[in-house]
Amino acid sequence: MADIAKDDELRRHVRDWLTDNIPPDLRRSRTYEDRLAVDRLLGEGGWLGYTWPTEFGGRGGTPREAIIVDDELARGGISAAGSPSRQGFRHLGPTLLVHGKDGQRQEFLPRIRNLSDIWCQGFSEPGAGSDLASVSTRAELVGDVFRLNGSKIWTTHAQYANWCYVLARTAPGPRHHNLTFLMVPMHQPGITVRPIKQLAGGTEFNEVWFDDAETSADNVIGELNDGWSIAVTTLSTERGFNLISHYRGYLEELGQMASRASAETDLIAIGDLYAQLLGIEAISARIMQALETSMLNDTALASGGKLVNTEFHQRMTEIALGLSVNSPGLAGEAFITFLEARAETIYGGTSQIQRNILAERVLGLPR
Protein backbone atom coordinates (compact mmCIF):
# COMPACT_ATOMS: atom_id res chain seq x y z
CA MET A 1 0.00 0.00 0.00
CA ALA A 2 1.42 3.40 -0.97
CA ASP A 3 2.32 5.69 1.92
CA ILE A 4 1.20 9.08 0.57
CA ALA A 5 2.75 11.05 3.45
CA LYS A 6 6.14 9.39 2.79
CA ASP A 7 5.80 10.12 -0.94
CA ASP A 8 5.09 13.77 -0.20
CA GLU A 9 8.07 14.01 2.10
CA LEU A 10 10.35 12.64 -0.61
CA ARG A 11 8.85 15.07 -3.14
CA ARG A 12 9.55 18.00 -0.83
CA HIS A 13 13.07 16.75 -0.19
CA VAL A 14 13.87 16.56 -3.94
CA ARG A 15 12.37 20.01 -4.58
CA ASP A 16 14.32 21.61 -1.73
CA TRP A 17 17.52 19.91 -2.87
CA LEU A 18 16.99 21.16 -6.43
CA THR A 19 16.37 24.72 -5.24
CA ASP A 20 19.55 24.66 -3.16
CA ASN A 21 21.80 22.91 -5.68
CA ILE A 22 20.89 23.45 -9.34
CA PRO A 23 20.03 26.89 -10.77
CA PRO A 24 16.87 26.89 -12.98
CA ASP A 25 18.75 28.09 -16.11
CA LEU A 26 21.21 25.21 -15.86
CA ARG A 27 18.38 22.68 -15.43
CA ARG A 28 16.73 23.75 -18.69
CA SER A 29 19.89 24.12 -20.76
CA ARG A 30 20.19 21.85 -23.81
CA THR A 31 23.98 21.89 -24.28
CA TYR A 32 25.88 18.69 -23.66
CA GLU A 33 28.29 20.40 -21.25
CA ASP A 34 25.46 21.82 -19.12
CA ARG A 35 23.59 18.51 -19.16
CA LEU A 36 26.75 16.78 -17.98
CA ALA A 37 27.18 19.36 -15.21
CA VAL A 38 23.57 18.70 -14.12
CA ASP A 39 24.13 14.94 -14.16
CA ARG A 40 27.26 15.34 -12.05
CA LEU A 41 25.35 17.38 -9.48
CA LEU A 42 22.55 14.79 -9.47
CA GLY A 43 25.15 12.04 -9.01
CA GLU A 44 26.75 13.87 -6.08
CA GLY A 45 23.31 14.37 -4.56
CA GLY A 46 22.69 10.60 -4.77
CA TRP A 47 19.78 10.89 -7.22
CA LEU A 48 21.21 8.72 -10.01
CA GLY A 49 20.73 4.95 -9.71
CA TYR A 50 18.33 5.58 -6.85
CA THR A 51 17.08 1.97 -6.74
CA TRP A 52 20.50 0.36 -7.07
CA PRO A 53 21.82 -1.55 -4.07
CA THR A 54 24.02 0.53 -1.75
CA GLU A 55 27.00 -1.78 -2.40
CA PHE A 56 27.03 -0.47 -5.99
CA GLY A 57 26.73 3.17 -4.96
CA GLY A 58 22.93 3.35 -5.16
CA ARG A 59 20.45 4.33 -2.43
CA GLY A 60 18.57 1.02 -2.35
CA GLY A 61 15.33 2.94 -2.98
CA THR A 62 12.11 1.41 -4.28
CA PRO A 63 10.97 1.85 -7.91
CA ARG A 64 8.12 3.98 -6.60
CA GLU A 65 10.61 6.32 -4.91
CA ALA A 66 12.76 6.45 -8.05
CA ILE A 67 9.73 7.46 -10.09
CA ILE A 68 8.84 10.18 -7.60
CA VAL A 69 12.43 11.46 -7.85
CA ASP A 70 12.24 11.42 -11.68
CA ASP A 71 8.89 13.14 -11.60
CA GLU A 72 10.16 15.92 -9.34
CA LEU A 73 13.31 16.37 -11.44
CA ALA A 74 11.13 16.68 -14.57
CA ARG A 75 8.87 19.14 -12.75
CA GLY A 76 11.99 21.13 -11.89
CA GLY A 77 12.93 21.28 -15.59
CA ILE A 78 15.39 18.36 -15.85
CA SER A 79 14.25 15.99 -18.56
CA ALA A 80 15.52 12.42 -18.78
CA ALA A 81 15.93 12.72 -22.56
CA GLY A 82 19.29 14.07 -23.65
CA SER A 83 21.02 13.26 -20.39
CA PRO A 84 24.67 12.18 -20.94
CA SER A 85 24.35 9.59 -18.18
CA ARG A 86 21.19 8.10 -19.71
CA GLN A 87 22.71 5.14 -21.58
CA GLY A 88 24.73 4.17 -18.53
CA PHE A 89 22.37 4.65 -15.70
CA ARG A 90 19.00 4.11 -17.36
CA HIS A 91 19.81 1.35 -19.87
CA LEU A 92 23.06 -0.48 -19.17
CA GLY A 93 22.88 -0.24 -15.36
CA PRO A 94 19.51 -2.03 -15.06
CA THR A 95 20.73 -4.60 -17.64
CA LEU A 96 23.85 -5.28 -15.54
CA LEU A 97 21.75 -5.61 -12.41
CA VAL A 98 19.68 -8.34 -14.06
CA HIS A 99 22.22 -10.13 -16.27
CA GLY A 100 25.70 -8.98 -15.16
CA LYS A 101 28.22 -11.07 -13.29
CA ASP A 102 29.13 -9.95 -9.75
CA GLY A 103 32.54 -8.66 -10.82
CA GLN A 104 30.99 -6.66 -13.68
CA ARG A 105 28.44 -5.07 -11.35
CA GLN A 106 31.14 -4.19 -8.84
CA GLU A 107 33.40 -2.71 -11.50
CA PHE A 108 30.94 -0.84 -13.70
CA LEU A 109 27.91 0.25 -11.65
CA PRO A 110 29.73 2.66 -9.29
CA ARG A 111 31.55 4.16 -12.30
CA ILE A 112 28.22 4.70 -14.09
CA ARG A 113 26.75 6.29 -10.99
CA ASN A 114 29.61 8.73 -10.39
CA LEU A 115 29.91 9.46 -14.14
CA SER A 116 33.50 8.27 -14.39
CA ASP A 117 32.19 6.36 -17.41
CA ILE A 118 29.92 7.73 -20.14
CA TRP A 119 28.23 5.00 -22.18
CA CYS A 120 26.78 4.83 -25.66
CA GLN A 121 24.56 2.19 -27.28
CA GLY A 122 25.97 0.30 -30.28
CA PHE A 123 22.91 -1.53 -31.57
CA SER A 124 21.78 -0.01 -34.90
CA GLU A 125 23.69 -0.59 -38.13
CA PRO A 126 23.13 0.64 -41.68
CA GLY A 127 21.43 -2.70 -42.48
CA ALA A 128 19.98 -3.40 -39.04
CA GLY A 129 17.72 -0.80 -37.45
CA SER A 130 14.18 -2.04 -36.98
CA ASP A 131 15.45 -5.47 -37.88
CA LEU A 132 18.04 -5.44 -35.10
CA ALA A 133 18.57 -9.21 -35.22
CA SER A 134 20.34 -8.84 -38.56
CA VAL A 135 23.37 -7.01 -37.09
CA SER A 136 26.51 -7.91 -39.00
CA THR A 137 29.29 -6.36 -36.88
CA ARG A 138 31.47 -9.35 -36.07
CA ALA A 139 33.31 -10.09 -32.83
CA GLU A 140 35.84 -12.90 -33.03
CA LEU A 141 37.33 -14.43 -29.89
CA VAL A 142 41.12 -14.50 -30.25
CA GLY A 143 42.77 -15.79 -27.07
CA ASP A 144 41.24 -13.78 -24.25
CA VAL A 145 40.04 -10.82 -26.32
CA PHE A 146 37.25 -10.22 -28.80
CA ARG A 147 38.27 -8.50 -32.02
CA LEU A 148 35.45 -6.40 -33.55
CA ASN A 149 34.94 -5.42 -37.19
CA GLY A 150 31.97 -3.59 -38.71
CA SER A 151 30.07 -0.36 -38.17
CA LYS A 152 27.24 1.09 -36.11
CA ILE A 153 25.09 4.11 -36.87
CA TRP A 154 22.93 6.65 -34.98
CA THR A 155 25.10 6.08 -31.90
CA THR A 156 24.05 8.87 -29.54
CA HIS A 157 26.92 10.58 -27.64
CA ALA A 158 29.56 8.22 -29.10
CA GLN A 159 31.85 11.25 -29.48
CA TYR A 160 31.82 11.73 -25.69
CA ALA A 161 31.51 8.15 -24.45
CA ASN A 162 34.44 6.12 -23.15
CA TRP A 163 32.45 2.84 -23.26
CA CYS A 164 29.93 1.38 -25.69
CA TYR A 165 27.66 -1.62 -25.23
CA VAL A 166 27.59 -3.45 -28.53
CA LEU A 167 25.43 -6.19 -30.01
CA ALA A 168 27.76 -8.21 -32.28
CA ARG A 169 27.63 -11.46 -34.22
CA THR A 170 29.97 -14.03 -32.66
CA ALA A 171 29.12 -16.99 -34.90
CA PRO A 172 27.34 -17.44 -38.21
CA GLY A 173 23.84 -18.78 -38.00
CA PRO A 174 20.17 -18.01 -37.36
CA ARG A 175 19.36 -14.34 -36.86
CA HIS A 176 18.48 -14.10 -33.16
CA HIS A 177 21.10 -16.65 -32.20
CA ASN A 178 24.85 -16.20 -32.13
CA LEU A 179 24.71 -12.56 -31.10
CA THR A 180 26.72 -11.46 -28.06
CA PHE A 181 26.28 -8.40 -25.81
CA LEU A 182 29.73 -6.86 -25.29
CA MET A 183 31.08 -3.89 -23.36
CA VAL A 184 33.74 -2.20 -25.50
CA PRO A 185 36.15 0.61 -24.48
CA MET A 186 35.85 3.50 -26.96
CA HIS A 187 39.28 5.06 -26.59
CA GLN A 188 41.43 2.77 -28.72
CA PRO A 189 43.00 2.92 -32.20
CA GLY A 190 40.50 0.45 -33.73
CA ILE A 191 37.50 2.79 -33.25
CA THR A 192 36.57 5.78 -35.43
CA VAL A 193 33.63 8.06 -34.59
CA ARG A 194 32.05 10.36 -37.19
CA PRO A 195 29.31 12.79 -36.06
CA ILE A 196 26.10 13.07 -38.11
CA LYS A 197 24.35 16.44 -38.51
CA GLN A 198 20.74 16.27 -37.31
CA LEU A 199 17.50 17.85 -38.48
CA ALA A 200 17.25 20.03 -35.35
CA GLY A 201 20.78 21.36 -35.91
CA GLY A 202 22.84 19.40 -33.37
CA THR A 203 25.23 16.48 -33.82
CA GLU A 204 24.12 14.19 -31.01
CA PHE A 205 24.53 10.94 -32.88
CA ASN A 206 27.34 9.35 -34.90
CA GLU A 207 28.67 6.62 -37.12
CA VAL A 208 31.09 4.30 -35.31
CA TRP A 209 33.58 2.11 -37.15
CA PHE A 210 35.31 -0.93 -35.63
CA ASP A 211 38.53 -1.99 -37.36
CA ASP A 212 40.06 -4.74 -35.25
CA ALA A 213 38.82 -2.96 -32.11
CA GLU A 214 39.36 -5.06 -29.01
CA THR A 215 37.64 -5.85 -25.76
CA SER A 216 38.39 -8.37 -23.04
CA ALA A 217 36.54 -11.70 -23.07
CA ASP A 218 35.47 -10.76 -19.51
CA ASN A 219 33.29 -8.00 -20.97
CA VAL A 220 30.48 -10.26 -22.20
CA ILE A 221 27.17 -9.63 -20.42
CA GLY A 222 25.24 -12.89 -20.14
CA GLU A 223 26.47 -15.86 -22.15
CA LEU A 224 28.40 -16.01 -25.39
CA ASN A 225 25.96 -16.18 -28.36
CA ASP A 226 23.00 -15.27 -26.10
CA GLY A 227 23.11 -11.49 -26.53
CA TRP A 228 19.63 -11.18 -28.02
CA SER A 229 17.86 -11.83 -24.72
CA ILE A 230 20.11 -9.27 -23.02
CA ALA A 231 19.37 -6.65 -25.70
CA VAL A 232 15.64 -7.27 -25.24
CA THR A 233 16.00 -6.41 -21.52
CA THR A 234 17.84 -3.20 -22.42
CA LEU A 235 15.23 -2.17 -24.99
CA SER A 236 12.34 -2.98 -22.69
CA THR A 237 13.86 -0.75 -20.02
CA GLU A 238 14.45 1.99 -22.61
CA ARG A 239 10.82 1.84 -23.75
CA GLY A 240 9.12 1.52 -20.39
CA PHE A 241 10.88 3.02 -17.40
CA ASN A 242 11.79 6.30 -19.02
CA LEU A 243 8.28 7.11 -20.08
CA ILE A 244 7.06 8.11 -16.68
CA SER A 245 9.01 11.30 -16.37
CA HIS A 246 7.95 12.25 -19.91
CA TYR A 247 4.40 12.69 -18.64
CA ARG A 248 5.54 15.52 -16.38
CA GLY A 249 7.41 17.19 -19.26
CA TYR A 250 4.31 17.01 -21.48
CA LEU A 251 2.20 18.56 -18.73
CA GLU A 252 4.67 21.44 -18.44
CA GLU A 253 4.61 21.98 -22.22
CA LEU A 254 0.82 21.89 -22.26
CA GLY A 255 0.71 24.48 -19.46
CA GLN A 256 2.92 26.78 -21.54
CA MET A 257 0.66 26.28 -24.57
CA ALA A 258 -2.44 27.10 -22.52
CA SER A 259 -0.84 30.30 -21.26
CA ARG A 260 -0.42 31.62 -24.79
CA ALA A 261 -3.64 30.32 -26.36
CA SER A 262 -6.31 32.89 -27.07
CA ALA A 263 -8.78 31.69 -29.71
CA GLU A 264 -11.56 29.33 -28.65
CA THR A 265 -10.39 26.72 -31.17
CA ASP A 266 -6.93 26.73 -29.54
CA LEU A 267 -8.46 26.11 -26.13
CA ILE A 268 -10.56 23.24 -27.49
CA ALA A 269 -7.43 21.66 -28.98
CA ILE A 270 -5.58 22.08 -25.67
CA GLY A 271 -8.51 20.56 -23.76
CA ASP A 272 -8.44 17.59 -26.12
CA LEU A 273 -4.68 17.14 -25.56
CA TYR A 274 -5.21 17.33 -21.81
CA ALA A 275 -7.81 14.53 -21.99
CA GLN A 276 -5.30 12.38 -23.91
CA LEU A 277 -2.65 13.25 -21.35
CA LEU A 278 -4.84 11.88 -18.58
CA GLY A 279 -4.78 8.56 -20.45
CA ILE A 280 -1.00 8.73 -20.55
CA GLU A 281 -0.95 9.44 -16.82
CA ALA A 282 -3.00 6.28 -16.27
CA ILE A 283 -0.53 4.23 -18.35
CA SER A 284 2.36 5.75 -16.38
CA ALA A 285 0.64 4.69 -13.16
CA ARG A 286 0.35 1.12 -14.51
CA ILE A 287 4.04 1.13 -15.39
CA MET A 288 4.80 2.34 -11.89
CA GLN A 289 2.75 -0.54 -10.49
CA ALA A 290 4.60 -3.06 -12.69
CA LEU A 291 7.91 -1.68 -11.49
CA GLU A 292 6.92 -2.11 -7.85
CA THR A 293 7.32 -5.84 -8.23
CA SER A 294 9.99 -6.31 -10.88
CA MET A 295 11.90 -4.67 -13.67
CA LEU A 296 9.63 -3.76 -16.55
CA ASN A 297 9.09 -7.00 -18.42
CA ASP A 298 5.54 -6.34 -19.49
CA THR A 299 5.69 -6.09 -23.28
CA ALA A 300 2.24 -4.55 -23.56
CA LEU A 301 3.13 -1.73 -21.18
CA ALA A 302 6.61 -1.12 -22.57
CA SER A 303 5.64 -1.10 -26.26
CA GLY A 304 2.12 0.29 -25.78
CA GLY A 305 3.43 3.00 -23.48
CA LYS A 306 6.15 4.06 -25.89
CA LEU A 307 3.74 4.14 -28.81
CA VAL A 308 1.07 6.19 -27.05
CA ASN A 309 3.56 8.61 -25.44
CA THR A 310 5.63 9.41 -28.49
CA GLU A 311 2.70 9.75 -30.91
CA PHE A 312 0.89 11.98 -28.43
CA HIS A 313 3.95 14.21 -28.11
CA GLN A 314 4.17 14.62 -31.87
CA ARG A 315 0.52 15.70 -32.08
CA MET A 316 1.08 18.12 -29.21
CA THR A 317 4.20 19.70 -30.72
CA GLU A 318 2.38 20.17 -34.05
CA ILE A 319 -0.39 22.12 -32.29
CA ALA A 320 2.18 24.05 -30.20
CA LEU A 321 3.97 25.06 -33.39
CA GLY A 322 0.68 26.41 -34.78
CA LEU A 323 0.05 28.42 -31.60
CA SER A 324 3.58 29.83 -31.54
CA VAL A 325 2.88 31.69 -34.81
CA ASN A 326 1.06 34.30 -32.69
CA SER A 327 4.01 34.53 -30.23
CA PRO A 328 7.13 35.04 -32.36
CA GLY A 329 9.39 34.91 -29.28
CA LEU A 330 8.37 31.29 -28.74
CA ALA A 331 8.49 30.11 -32.35
CA GLY A 332 12.16 29.05 -32.29
CA GLU A 333 11.77 26.95 -29.15
CA ALA A 334 8.50 25.39 -30.38
CA PHE A 335 10.11 24.53 -33.70
CA ILE A 336 13.08 22.77 -32.05
CA THR A 337 10.74 20.78 -29.78
CA PHE A 338 8.62 19.89 -32.82
CA LEU A 339 11.69 18.62 -34.70
CA GLU A 340 13.02 16.72 -31.70
CA ALA A 341 9.68 14.98 -31.23
CA ARG A 342 10.06 13.54 -34.77
CA ALA A 343 12.88 11.38 -33.43
CA GLU A 344 10.85 9.99 -30.54
CA THR A 345 8.79 7.64 -32.73
CA ILE A 346 12.04 6.27 -34.18
CA TYR A 347 14.58 5.63 -31.41
CA GLY A 348 14.09 2.68 -29.09
CA GLY A 349 12.14 1.05 -31.97
CA THR A 350 9.78 2.82 -34.39
CA SER A 351 6.00 3.08 -33.95
CA GLN A 352 5.49 0.47 -36.65
CA ILE A 353 7.75 -1.93 -34.79
CA GLN A 354 5.89 -1.32 -31.51
CA ARG A 355 2.61 -2.05 -33.35
CA ASN A 356 4.11 -5.28 -34.74
CA ILE A 357 5.23 -6.31 -31.25
CA LEU A 358 1.80 -5.59 -29.79
CA ALA A 359 0.03 -7.44 -32.61
CA GLU A 360 2.25 -10.50 -32.61
CA ARG A 361 3.50 -10.91 -29.06
CA VAL A 362 0.67 -9.41 -27.04
CA LEU A 363 -2.45 -10.06 -29.14
CA GLY A 364 -1.13 -13.24 -30.82
CA LEU A 365 -2.26 -12.11 -34.28
CA PRO A 366 -0.81 -13.97 -37.30
CA ARG A 367 2.37 -12.51 -38.82
Contact footprint for ligand FAD (CB under 6 A): 120-124, 129-130, 154-156, 205, 343, 346-347, 349-350, 352-353, 356
First-to-last C-alpha distance (Å) of the chain: 41
- Quick check: 313 and 250 in contact, CB under 8 A? yes
Helical (H) or strand (E) element with 221: strand 220-221
| Rounded CA separation 220/87 (Å) | 17
| Rounded CA separation 100/230 (Å) | 10
In the complex, least distance from residue 274 CB atom to ligand FAD, rounded to whole angstroms:
27
In the complex, least distance from residue 284 CB atom to ligand FAD, rounded to whole angstroms:
22
Which is the catalytic residue, given 125, 204, 238, 344? Answer: 238
DSSP for 247-269, written as a single string: HHHHHHHHHHHHHH--SHHHHHH
Of 326 and 352, the one with the shorter C-beta distance to ligand FAD is: 352
Of 184 and 353, the one with the shorter C-beta distance to ligand FAD is: 353
Q: Is 316 helix (H, G, I), strand (E, B) or coil?
A: helix
DSSP for 97-135, written as a single string: HHH--HHHHHHHHHHHHTTSS-EEEE--BTTBSSSGGG-
- Quick check: 48 and 57 in contact, CB under 8 A? no
Of 243 and 353, the one with the shorter C-beta distance to ligand FAD is: 353
Q: Tell me whether strands 119-122 and 163-169 are parallel, antiparallel or unpaired.
A: parallel
Q: Residue type at 281?
A: E
Of 51 and 156, the one with the shorter C-beta distance to ligand FAD is: 156
Of 64 and 242, the one with the shorter C-beta distance to ligand FAD is: 242
Residue nearest ligand FAD, Cβ-based: 129
Length, in residues, of the chain: 367
Q: Residue type at 161?
A: A
Of 307 and 343, the one with the shorter C-beta distance to ligand FAD is: 343
In the complex, least distance from residue 307 CB atom to ligand FAD, rounded to whole angstroms:
11
Q: What are the angstrom distances between the C-alpha of 199 and each of 15, 89, 202, 283, 347?
A: 34, 27, 8, 30, 14
In the complex, least distance from residue 343 CB atom to ligand FAD, rounded to whole angstroms:
4
| Rounded CA separation 245/26 (Å) | 19
In the complex, least distance from residue 364 CB atom to ligand FAD, rounded to whole angstroms:
17
Q: Is 204 a catalytic residue?
A: no
In the complex, least distance from residue 198 CB atom to ligand FAD, rounded to whole angstroms:
7
Q: Which residues are catalytic?
A: 238
